[in-house]
Amino acid sequence: MTESSLLRQRVDSTITELIDARTPILRAMSDELDAVSAVSLRFLSGGKRLRALFCYRGWEAVTGDVPEAGTPEGRVLDQLAAALELFHAAALVHDDLIDNSDTRRGHPAAHVQLADEHRARGWAGDANAFGRSAALLLGDVILAWSNDALDAAASTLGAVRATSVREEYSTMRQGVTLGQYLDIVEEQAWPTRVDGERVPRALDVLTHKSARYSIEHPLVLGALAAGAEDSQVTALRDYALPLGIAFQLRDDQLGVFGDSALTGKPSGDDLTEGKRTVLIARAIEQGDAATRSRLNTALGDRSLDDAAVAELTQLIRSTGAASDVETMIADELDTALAAVPRATTHRSSALWLTELAHEATRREA
């Protein structure tokens, strides 16, 4: 088993422990809350655990190694990694609601699972409406559990480190939430944008909603918990932000061109959901009048069948947008890798940061 697999197991175990510890509390309130624990565990299973891995590697960048599980430092790091994955899960629950996305990681989204619970029990009313309302609350509960895990980690750090960790975490939470708001704004304001505005605005949303919280904040949180100096934190950010941008640009490519068997979401999902990504922005600004009209009309049309999705993906490729985004990914990756020598003095850490950078940008899911 690889070291990354072992680290994933550690954070999985920590998340399970946290939810198991809260199950008796939920049952003491009502046995109707058993569904909250069950759906939470199902929804939290799987995933790449990329944020947790970058958190572990942030610590390693400072100290030269990852503390073993069961040690005081290892426990702090496991709790911090779990907090990040719980926050990510809460964001996904809410994101699927906002996007009306019914699948996640190849399985029903949380609101779909909860709607199925309603049907299975034969309750009155609209099962889908119940699922949406319940999922909104479930996301809030998972977010609270994320805060609990953060508090557990920070409480055993010294005052200076704890303050730095809490401030970074707060910045992350605010950034993701406001980035999501900006994403919603762009979907509504898209028709009012003129050529030259769409791509930078899409990049701005990408940076705030995903790039920073996917890689920069997790990496820096691990480093701050380990006691990183300001100069090293700056270098780690210089590595992480361009890598986070490349990571999300790859996600946008997969959202249009990805294999559903690997991504766990329907092919062309970003098209049917109407995502205004850098890829789509470039395709519209570089396409001819017919292409622009077709893309603008089709974006967000949930009735698109496989043939229509195939037509649209070919249209996007024909504009050169897909090739342009691949170039952007490569350039951002090069920028990130150039910062590695400044980000850590430990050879093993530099190798891991390099490997994770390639893993984040060359993935198929």
Note the pLDDT of residue 278: 96
How far is CA 160 from its chain centroid?
28
Place of tokens 């409406």: 129
Dist CA 226 CA 168 (whole Å) = 14
Dist CA 241 CA 244 (whole Å) = 5
User: In this predicted model, what pLDDT tens digit does every residue of 310-359 receive, in sequence order?
Assistant: 999 999 999 999 999 999 999 999 999 999 999 999 999 999 999 999 99
User: In this predicted model, what pLDDT tens digit does every residue of 220-241 receive, in sequence order?
Assistant: 999 999 999 999 999 999 999 9
Note the pLDDT of residue 269: 86
Q: List, in order, residues 6 or more apart from 206 with CB less than 8 Å away.
A: 245, 248, 249, 252, 277, 278
Lowest mean pLDDT of 60-64, 146-150, 269-273, name the range: 269-273
The residue type found at 15 is I
Q: Report all structural domains of the chain as residue ranges with CATH numbers, in order of start.
A: 3-361 (1.10.600.10)
Note the pLDDT of residue 166: 98
Q: 3-class SS at 108? A: strand
Arithmetic mean of pLDDT, 267-275: 88
| Residue 264: pLDDT over 80 | no
User: In this predicted model, what pLDDT tens digit does every residue of 75-126 receive, in sequence order?
Assistant: 999 999 999 999 999 999 999 999 888 888 778 999 999 999 999 999 999 9
Note the pLDDT of residue 37: 87
Note the pLDDT of residue 265: 79
Q: 3-class SS at 103? A: strand
Burial of 248 (0-12, 13-18, 19+ CB in 10 A): buried
Note the pLDDT of residue 104: 84
What does R_g of the chain's alpha carbons equal in angstroms? 21
Note the pLDDT of residue 164: 98
Note the pLDDT of residue 290: 93
Dist CA 255 CA 257 (whole Å) = 6
| Residue 41: pLDDT over 90 | no
Give the tokens for residue 110: 């949380």
Q: What percent of the chain has pLDDT over 90?
A: 81
Q: How would residue 133 be classed by pLDDT, with cut points 50, 70 and 90?
A: very high
Arithmetic mean of pLDDT, 63-84: 97
Work out the mean pLDDT of the chain and round it to a whole number.
94
Arithmetic mean of pLDDT, 198-211: 94
User: In terms of pTM, does the model score above 0.85?
Assistant: yes
